[in-house]
Amino acid sequence: MIDGDTLLVSELPTGTELIRLIGVDAPETGAGRTTRECFGLEAERWLAAEAPRGSTLTLVADVGARDRFGRLLFYAYRADGTFLNAALVANGYAQTMTIPPNVSHAEELQGLQARARRESRGLWRACR
């Protein structure tokens, strides 16, 4: 796990790669060249707990395979069926970020964000 919306995944056909979760944008943690944003560390910790090292994820592609930084783009599901991209948004650990052509779950994620915001979940409560 790298931050609240990026995972380091091994055992891919291409080896170990960075995976950027499609449709979500978690606040920055301040690691590397980024500035720490409100709720970034909480998002990182949540994702680490929900997809711990060694866990099995099902990765589902959309139309575009990689982002401008070369990271693979996927929707991620835990073995119990939890849709991690959606759970991040629903719990207020990330906002939606729609970048065509990867829009398969855009409406669903936008609806979850509206509800999280209305109910002041996560970053919507902490980052006013």
The pLDDT tens digits for 92-102 are 999 999 999 99
End-to-end CA distance of the chain: 27
The Cα–Cα gap between 128 and 123 comes to: 8
Q: How far is the C-alpha of 77 from the C-alpha of 87, rounded, in Å?
A: 10
Stated as kind and residue range, the H or E segment containing 7 is: strand 6-12
Q: What is the CATH number of domain 6-126?
A: 2.40.50.90
Ranges of each domain in the chain = 6-126
Q: What is the tens place of the pLDDT at every residue in 53-96? A: 889 999 999 999 999 999 999 999 999 999 999 999 999 999 99
The answer to pTM > 0.85 is yes
Residue 117: pLDDT over 70:
yes
Of the given ranges (28-37, 45-54, 84-93), which has the lowest mean pLDDT?
28-37
